[in-house]
Amino acid sequence: MLSTSTGYLILFIFGSFFTILTIVMQRRRKTAMTAEQFSTAGRNVGVGLASASIIAAWTWAATLMMSSSTGFQYGISGPYWYAAGACIQVLLFAIVAIHLKRKAPKAHTFLEFIGKRFDKKNHKLMMVFALMTNIIVTSMVILGGAIALNSLTGMNIYIAAFLIPLTFTIYTMIGGLKASFIADYLNTVMIFVILTIFAAAVYMQFGVQTVYEGLRSLPESQQMLTMASIPGLLFGMINIIGNFGTVFVDQSYWQRAIASKDSAASKAYIYGGIAWFSIPFAIATFLGVTAAGLGLNVGDPDASAPLMAAHVLGTVGSILFLVMLFMAVMSTGAAELTAITNIIVTDIYRKSINPLASSAKTLKVSRIVTLSFGLAMGVFSVLLFSIGIGLGFVYMAMGIFVSGAVIPLTIGLLWKRATNNGCFWGALLGMVSGVTVWNVSAYVMHGAINVESLGHLHSMLFGNLTVFIVSGVISIGHALMSNEQFDFEAMKDSFKSFDDEQEELIVVAKKEVV
């Protein structure tokens, strides 16, 4: 274990480095920061930077901690089901990214599109889903980082959960989405470098045969050494369903489509999704599966990755893992902060509170929202720990709460026959029925409704499946029975950038003076 002071030092170094880097970049900019730049990074990000940003944004703390946990618990099937189960969504998102760029070229959020595609009740409901997604993902980022700091340095887990958001909140507040892209690129490079070091160290130190023999000696060896592992398969199904919600309903992924050049948007998701696969697959194999094969006593499976890293390379391994983890924390945290800021500013502040806000005023409000949400998430994560909810529970339960919006949102973008009522009730009843089935199945199978019974694989699976089935049947079924058709072309020119709106206000003001 490292000393507690090392944990504080790592937090300080990461926060300070990216804050200073952002300030330097701001001073070297040839143009002043505007609300549009803060929100969209100028809409001219190339395929390389966008791909790296997608990899970094999808590499959560949970990617490193939970993927290793699956390898430790389910054996060789765990790495595949985690990596493949969370890769499909990013690849498929390339399709919706193209459609958003074509149908809403100057939109700032997917909710802004929803507000013009559907009615007010759909816009409000989808906003609830989007905000819920951002809160769940950000909490997982913080929980994963806090668990790793506690495991390797002994830092108080509540203090770690409160301090972690500060490391990415300050530089995001200063530089906006562009700062997030630059940090993502550096983080992605470092993650792959450290991942290569761990893979080489484990292979050279232990080899395949040692790990194989260790897995064979385990009581559950039949499950650990086969891709036909039933627990692994159940986790894979939960993983696939749940992660559709955290990609398709997460504004941070729509943001990257909005910020990318037209020619780069779809390619970035394909390249990024394929490259991302190697991160959880390698971590889960070289740290999680190996820890199980060596019989490492890790206590909490969620902590298998940092403890295995320390076992392989000692103090150096602990430091390298913390560096890699905080690269992931910084990237995903910044992405979620900019996402929540764009939603609140675009779909609440400018839509309902101050539609005529100037660019300078919008930029000021954006920075205030970024800082406020970052601090609030630290408090929320402390509350999660205090009531006994950990990383694994949140990860597997997220789909039940957010995936109800996936099918209604997707068909609303791709299909002109999608209806207001079908998509609204499909999303709402999908979530309600999923939560209901989740609780009922936990009670029927385990005799109680608590964190432990709700966290079992079967309860989670039934809840996640119900959400998708109910929301899909209602939203698609109502569209097929209805004669409604939406004109996407008529909507296309109704989106305007913040800077364009500012220029129009100036022109109108001059005319009024004349």
How many Å separate Cα 421 from the centre of its chain? 28
Domain 45-387 sits in CATH 3.40.50.720: no
pLDDT 10s digits, 294-305? 988 887 787 888
pLDDT per position as a tens digit, 428-466: 999 999 999 999 999 999 888 888 889 888 899 999 999
Query: Is pLDDT of 471 > 90?
Result: yes
pTM: predicted TM-score of the whole model, two decimal places: 0.86
Residue 108, SS3 per DSSP: coil
286 touches 202 (CB < 8 A): yes
Task: Choose among 335, 334, 345, 331: nearest CA to 127.
Answer: 345
pLDDT digits (tens, 9 = 90+) for 44-98: 888 888 899 899 888 887 788 889 999 999 999 999 999 999 999 999 999 998 8
What is residue 216's predicted lDDT score, i.e. its pLDDT?
92
* Residue 292 banded pLDDT, cuts 50, 70, 90: very high
**Domain extent listing, the chain:** 45-387
Helices (H), 447-514: 451-454, 457-481, 488-491, 498-513
Q: Whose CA is closest to 275, among 380, 348, 351, 185?
A: 185
Residue type, 143: L
Please name the residue ranges forming H helices in 225-303: 230-248, 251-259, 265-283, 290-293
Q: What backbone torsions phi and psi does residue 483 show, to the nearest 5 degrees?
A: -105, 10
- CB neighbour burial string for 163-180, b if at least 16 within 10 angstroms, e if fewer: bbbbbbbbbbbbbbbbbb
Give the C-alpha separation, 394 to 381, whole Å.
11
Give 319-374 pLDDT, tens digit per residue.
Answer: 899 888 888 888 888 888 889 999 999 999 988 898 888 888 888 999 999 999 88
**In this structure, are residues 449 and 443 in contact, taking their beta carbons and an 8 Å threshold?**
yes
- pLDDT given for residue 375 in this prediction: 86
